[in-house]
Structure 1
Amino acid sequence: MSLPIEINEERQEPIYHQIEEQIMTLIVSEHLLAETALPSIRALASQLGCSVITTRRAYQNLEQRGYIKTVRGKGTFVQQVDTKEKSTQKFKTVHDAAKRAVQIAKQHEYSEPEVKELFLKIIKEEYDA
């Protein structure tokens, strides 16, 4: 199984965190359902072109947070995540992405009205598509 994960080495976030966040997003958006088998640590590392240590750390963090479980001799599987946690995580993901976009706009010296106008234009494009 291949996961739709992309690593961006230019981002300040560590690679393991990027992997963790994207898998979490796939789980809370129900693109990965409970009991779905995940790729092995080695297979995912190979797919993404990163180290086994990096993917292991992402999986360990996800397991500690209750998103995945490892069954010795069988593999790693998506855990059942409750509705409230899914909702909280979805909000956090969208909020953080929007905040990053605003920070980038400020770095490029966009004014608040210009950022609002840009966001509204993007919203219209995306929802009318």
Structure 2
Amino acid sequence: MWIPIQINESSPEPLYHQIETQLRSLIVSGQIDEGTLLPSIREFAGSLSCSVITVRRVYQDLESEGLLRTKQGTGTFVAKVGAGERDEYRRVAVQEALESAVEVGKSVQYGKEELKELFLKILNKKYLENEGSDPK
């Protein structure tokens, strides 16, 4: 199975974290269904041009979160994610991204009102680009 993970080698973010974040998002959003067999660690590492240790860490971290399960001799599968769990994972992912954005804003001396104004401008722009995709 091909998994659409995009790696940015010039990013300061560690490789395992880039992969883990994107794979978590694909699972939580339902783009990779429950029960889907993921590529072997070796196969996935080869397709991403990274080390086996990196992919092993990603699989272990997501398994400890309950998003993956490994059956010895069979492979690694996407675990069942309940609606409540899915909503919590989504909320945490968005919250972490927003907290990070606020920290960056503060580090360059953006004030609270400037951040709020910029956020609303970006939010409106993004939803206008995808007109009709706004669920509310």
> Do both proteins adopt the same fold according to a TM-score greater than 0.5, normalized to the shorter chain?
yes
Structure 1 gaps, min length 5:
none
Cα deviation 1:62-109 (Å, max 9, x = unaligned): 122221122333322111111111111100000100111111111222
Cα deviation 1:8-58 (Å, max 9, x = unaligned): 45334x432332222111111101110112121112212222210110111
Question: In the alignment, what sits opposite 1:17?
Answer: 17
* 1:60-99 correspondence runs (5 A): 60-99=60-99
Kindly provide the amino acid, as one letter, of the partner of residue 12 in structure 2: R
Question: In the alignment, what sits opposite 1:43?
Answer: 43
> CA separation in 1, counterparts of 2:8 and 2:100?
15
> CA separation in 2, counterparts of 1:104 and 1:121?
17
Displaced runs of 4 or more, over 4 A: none
> CA separation in 1, counterparts of 2:122 and 2:69?
38
Question: In the alignment, what sits opposite 2:29?
Answer: 29
SS where residue 69 of structure 2 aligns?
strand
**TM-score using structure 1 length:** 0.88
Kindly provide the amino acid, as one letter, of the partner of residue 113 in structure 1: E
Question: In the alignment, what sits opposite 1:108?
Answer: 108
Kindly provide the amino acid, as one letter, of the partner of residue 120 in structure 1: L
Structure showing greater relative contact order (alpha-carbon pairs closer than 8 Å, 6 or more residues apart): 1
Please provide the CA RMSD for this pair. Answer: 1.6
**TM-score using structure 2 length:** 0.84
* Count, aligned residues: 128
Structure 2 gaps, min length 5:
130-136
